[in-house]
Amino acid sequence: MSRIDQLLVSYDCRMALQLCQQVMILCKQKQCKQVEDICSFISTLCQKSEGDSCKDESKFCMARAKSCSENNCVDANKACIQARTICQKNYEIRGS
């Protein structure tokens, strides 16, 4: 993977995490259609990464989008928790 690709993947991961936080807020507000659209997009961002866990995370995000489209909030929340649990960037510690 080239240096520019590594930078773009890192950017995609950060964007996915920020969007995931927005999704949690929208889900509490019962904005299912917006949650579905954003989770579908997050899935594409995660799919770009080369990490094995990222591919699985992508599948969970897509599952959440599908569950939201069916108004199945329980399964949607389970899929989201699974995706966040395996996300490597979710556990990074950044110092200044």
* Average pLDDT of span 24-40: 88
Domain count across the chain: 1
**Per-residue pLDDT tens over the stretch 40-87:** 999 998 888 877 788 888 898 899 888 888 888 888 888 888 888 888
Domain assignment of residue 86, yes or no: yes
Burial class (CB in 10 A: 0-12, 13-18, 19+), 42: buried
The answer to whether the CB of 44 falls within 8 A of the CB of 25 is no
Domain assignment of residue 87, yes or no: yes
pTM: 0.79
Residues recorded for the chain = 96
Residue-level pLDDT at 9: 73
Residue type, 76: A
Containing domain of residue 62, as a range?
3-91
- The better pLDDT of the pair 90, 53 is held by 53
- The better pLDDT of the pair 2, 93 is held by 2
| Distance (Å, whole) CA 87 – CA 15 | 13
| Distance (Å, whole) CA 94 – CA 76 | 29
| Distance (Å, whole) CA 48 – CA 7 | 12
* Average pLDDT of span 29-34: 87
Domain assignment of residue 96, yes or no: no
